[in-house]
Chains A and B, each alone.
Chain A
Amino acid sequence: MIVTAVLTVAVGCAERPVPPARSPYDAPQRLSEFALFEGDPRRQRAARDVVPYDVNTPLFSDYTTKYRFVRLPPGSAATYHSDETFEFPVGTVLVKTFAYWLDRRDAIAGERLIETRILMHRPQGWVGLPYVWNDEQTEAYLALGGDVRPVQWIHDDGSHRANDYIIPNANQCKGCHRERGPVAPIGPKARQLNRPYAYPDGTQNQLTYWANAGILEDAPLPDSAPRLAQWDAPRSGSTAERARAWLEANCAHCHNPAGPASNTGLDLFAAQSNPRAFGVYRSPVAAGIGTGGRKFDIVPGKPDDSILLHRIASTDPQVMMPELGKRLVHQEGVQLVRRWISEMDANGSRATRVGGSAAR
């Protein structure tokens, strides 16, 4: 295509060679060109060279269900890190499909695929590509400029819900995926992947499965790897641990010492043990109208005086957190954070007892 033409010309133009100005967004127009799925894409069944995965605590995205996949170049493997996202080789494709159940109480009623986001590791770096599913659910098309889709569903409580679901544009992908500066994946970390997954050939811990499949190098046994609590599974951790997991998944991609919101000094990684750093009696820096007149990010025992709770419970663009990809409040997540702040000791000490697993 364009690239070929430009390269060809470089030969014919000896005086002034044309640089190979390939846009990182030069990508397939149709998702099917990636050959990620086997059979009907509605079933989101991974092709043979694609591995499905799940995370302990996901980012909330307006009550969508998510299907995650990874494909590495043949014969290659990712490198294990205990804290940071695994290092994936160039050529890796990470895939996340967003769907709405028609009735959240009844899986049989089916679901509607909305978008599939691709993170491609290209020689120039990671690139985020949004693909939007057609009404027939047979194909998804590249939509670099994003899109809006009206959706409706029956909620867990039987109520009818509706949303204008926002598909972020390719620049907005970068807004969240700069956790440590350059664009990179966020989810595939040891603590997020350290959990069982029901593969077609049986249930297995994902770290073990990845290691056995040869796509992850240097992985320890799951018991020796960190594990984040599942925000909605009380057996997976205390209220504090689950609230901190929820805050990591929803906030820490910006609010960490190397992230886009580093200027605020707020660090919401679950491993941060200093209460002041994760918000206890912390004064806002650049919150503006977002504080709603409150003085501190977290006031122990007083969720309604805490800026953090005020902002995650808002959908006002000048107040709400996260800033992107949110039109609805995650009521259940907000409840969890509220309970955590309510139960917190005056010095925030109860809040520090987190870690997610005995091994950490």
Chain B
Amino acid sequence: MRHDWHVRRQTLLRATLAAAGCLAGCTSPNSGDATAVTPTYFTPVEGVGRRIQEALIVAQPGDVIELGGGTFHLDATLSLDVSRVVIRGQGPDTTILSFAEQKQGTGGEGLLVTQGGVAIEDLAIEDAKTDALKVSKAEGVAIRRVRTEWTGGAHETNGAYGIYPVQCRGVLVEDCVAIGASDAGIYVGQSQDVVVRRCRASGNVLGIEIENCTRADVYENAATGNAGGILIVSLPNLPAGNGRHCRVFANQAIKNNHANFAPAGNLASTVSSGTGIMVVAYDAVEIFENTIENNRTVNLAVVSYLATGRDIDDPKYDPYPERIGIYDNRFSGGGQDPQGRLGALLGPLLGGSFPDIVYDGMVDPEKLVDGELPDECKLFIQDNGPAEFVNFDLANFDPLHGRIPSFRRDVQVHAGRHEPLAVVQLPEAVP
């Protein structure tokens, strides 16, 4: 069969080239690895999944596994545990890895990568049982022109994450598309030095989520039609510790008004449908030059973890968002139809609609100097056109017991700009 022939061809080539006197190793100008010769090539024929898996197992660093056009019907998770391998299709609408027929007991992810220096390019992963593309503990990973999608519409049984690098150092996600995840379409968790750019996320519960990372740039993405567009979240009880240093700029967060279809009990299920961009408990976040429009609950929210109403039992956890900057964004529409718990409690008190920027006003009492946060911890809001603002003063907010604070709508008290955060530099391990 064709795929067999291709596999064998590579093996033979390796041996022959080597035996013929280092054709590849001695002449290839850009390869330091004599065994990296031609790509292994697969076409979507019956039973090819197992052959691809075998190729991924015996791959050597430097190898390219190439997938032809068409739909590959796969009945088991594909996994890669070799460093510096490239898996490349012919394009996100041409090479489709479909896990709709995946057998229970063969793993949950579509594609699982557990080594660094890996690139996944030009393919789609559809209807995975749990996560579509998970990359775990990799030193350097690049995900380019990959589409992850659940094709049956919005269901809580869809997999949790589309593109899911976690506990990695050096992550590049670019020109990708994520649709239909029951948690986050693009989710980068507990990683360092992250770039997410020029991606599109729609029809997910959350479009793009950065969680407990250190140094992340999120720019030129479009998050539309999710329940929540872009979330920058720092959670307790995670080995990576608190999240800090995130720049969110030149993105579009538009009409993220999809119903929230996350499974109950999941933290994502508590995000109000109609949230444009939200920062939860993260430190050192810059949100600038974004277009944030027509998100029915709130265009931009900055809140502490205390706003989730969940207990905190992690002594090292910092639940307060600090050193947040919101500059030069373009807001329009939105906030007219607040949803969820916050919408129900706060909406009526605010006259039925939310302003563009909503802040819970929670600050760390231990950091106060003369009753005020030092400048380096403050929330600064500057040059956002006519954007409206409210600090709803969560500390004194308990409407169920008749305690309603004075909402503070004066944005001038937040005027200012922090020193710009450094541009994220991707480490060399990112191919």
Residues of A within 8 A of B (CB): 1-2, 5-6, 8-9, 12-13, 15-16, 18-19, 21, 23, 25, 143-148, 164, 166, 169-172, 174, 263, 283, 285, 288-289, 291-293, 315, 317-318, 323-327
Contacts and interface: CB of A to CB of B under 8 A. Distances in A.
A170 B238 CA distance: 30
Given A144-B53, A144-B54, A288 B108 contact: no
Contacts of B75: 148
Interface residues of B, number: 50
Contacts of B34: 6, 9, 16, 18-19, 21
B81 A171 contact: yes
23 contacts: A6-B14, A16-B22, A18-B18, A21-B33, A21-B35, A21-B60, A144-B53, A145-B57, A146-B76, A147-B50, A148-B76, A164-B103, A171-B53, A263-B238, A289-B266, A293-B265, A315-B104, A317-B104, A317-B108, A318-B160, A325-B105, A326-B105, A327-B104
B21 A23 contact: no
Contact of A323 (B16, B108, B263): B108
A177 to B, nearest CB: 12
Contact of B57 (A5, A12, A144, A325): A144
Nearest to A263: B239
B51 to A, nearest CB: 7
B160 A289 contact: yes
Interface string B346-376: 0000000000000000000000000000000
B247 interface: no
Given A16-B22, A166-B105, A291-B265, 4 more contacts: A6-B34, A12-B22, A146-B50, A283-B313
Interface in B2-60: 11, 14-16, 18-19, 21-22, 25-26, 33-35, 49-54, 56-58, 60
A23 B79 contact: no
Nearest to A23: B58
Interface in B274-296: none
Contacts of A315: 104-105
B406 interface: no
B241 to A, nearest CB: 12
Contacts of B159: 318
A158 B15 CA distance: 55
A169 B25 contact: no
Nearest to A294: B265
A289 B129 contact: no
A338 to B, nearest CB: 22
A144 B53 CA distance: 8
Given A23-B58, A318-B108, A288 B266 contact: yes
A5 B19 contact: yes
Contacts of A164: 103, 105
Given A21-B60, A288-B160, A293-B265, A15 B104 contact: no
A169 B22 contact: no
A166 B103 contact: yes
B308 interface: no
A171 B59 CA distance: 12
